[in-house]
Amino acid sequence: MIKKYGILINLVFILVVLVIAILIDIPKGPNLRIGSFFREFKIHRGLDLQGGTSLLYIADLSKISEKERSQAIEGAIDIIRKRVDGLGVTEPVIQATSIGDKQGIIVELPGIQNVEEAIKLLGETAQLKFITENGQEVLTGKELRRASLAFSPAGGGQSLPEVNLEFNDEGREKFATATKENLGKRIIVILDNQIITAPVVQSVITDGRARITGNFTVEEARKLTLQLNSGALPVPLTLAEQRNIGATLGDKPLKESAIAGLLGILLVMLFMVIHYKLPGLLANIALVIYTAIVLALFKFIPVTLTLAGVAGFILSVGMAVDANILIFERMREELRKGKILTVAIEDGFRRAWSSIRDSNVSSIITCLILIWFGSGSVRGFAVTLLIGILVSMFSAIYVSRVFLRLAAKNNKVANLLRI
Partner 1 sequence: MNFVKNRLYFYILSLLIIIPGIIALFLFGLRLGLDFTGGAMIELAWQGDLQTEEAVKEIQSIGKKEILVQSAGEKAVIVKIASKNQEEAKNLAEEIKKNLAKKATSIEEKNFALVGPTVSKNLQTKSIKAVILASLGIIFYIAFAFRKVEKPASPWRFGIAAIIALIHDLLVVLGIFAILGRFFAWAELDAMFITALLTVLGFSVHDTIVVFDRIRENLRLYPQKPFEEVVNSSLLQTLSRSINTSLVVIITLLALFILGGETIKGFILALLIGIISGTYSSIFNASLLIVSWQKFIEKRALKKSGDL
Taking the complex as a whole, the smallest distance from the CB of residue 275 to partner 1 amounts, in Å, to 7
**Shortest distance (Å) from residue 343 CB to partner 1:** 17
In this complex, which beta carbon is closest to partner 1, that of residue 178 or of residue 320?
320
C-beta of 53 vs 127, nearer to partner 1? 53
What is the DSSP code string of 91-103?
S-EEEEEEETTEE
Q: Residue 381 or 403: which CB sits closer to partner 1?
A: 381
Binding site for partner 1 (CB under 8 A): 48, 56, 58, 99-100, 102, 115, 239-246, 248-249, 252-253, 256-257, 259-261, 263-265, 267-268, 271, 275, 307-308, 310-311, 314-315, 317-319, 321-322, 325-326, 329, 333, 351, 354-355, 358-363, 365-367, 369-370, 372-374, 376-378, 381-382, 385
Nearest to 103 by CA among 231, 218, 9, 238: 238
- DSSP assignment of 15-26, as one string? HHHHHHHHHHHS
Q: 293 near 21, Cβ under 8 Å?
A: yes
Of 157 and 246, nearer to partner 1 (C-beta) is 246
Q: How far apart are CA 112 and CA 48, in angstroms?
A: 13
Burial class (CB in 10 A: 0-12, 13-18, 19+), 167: buried
What is the nearest approach in angstroms of partner 1 to the Cβ of residue 46? 12
Nearer to partner 1, 78 or 251 (CB): 251
Neighbours of 414 (CB within 10 A): 16
Name the nearest CA neighbour of 290 among 143, 139, 397, 391: 391
Helices (H), 244-376: 252-300, 307-336, 341-373
For β-strands 209-212 and 194-197, DSSP reports them as: unpaired
Query: Which of 132/359 has CB closer to partner 1?
Result: 359
Question: CB 102 → partner 1: shortest distance, Å?
Answer: 6
Of 75 and 374, CB closest to partner 1: 374
- Given a contact cutoff of 8 angstroms between Cβ atoms, the answer to whether 201 and 182 are in contact is yes
What is d(CA 117, CA 86) in angstroms, rounded to the nearest whole number?
A: 12
CB of 263 to partner 1, least distance (A): 5
Distance of closest approach, residue 15 Cβ to partner 1, in angstroms: 27
Residue 419, class by beta-carbon neighbours within 10 Å (0-12 exposed, 13-18 middle, 19+ buried)? Answer: middle
Minimum distance from residue 367 beta carbon to partner 1 (Å): 7
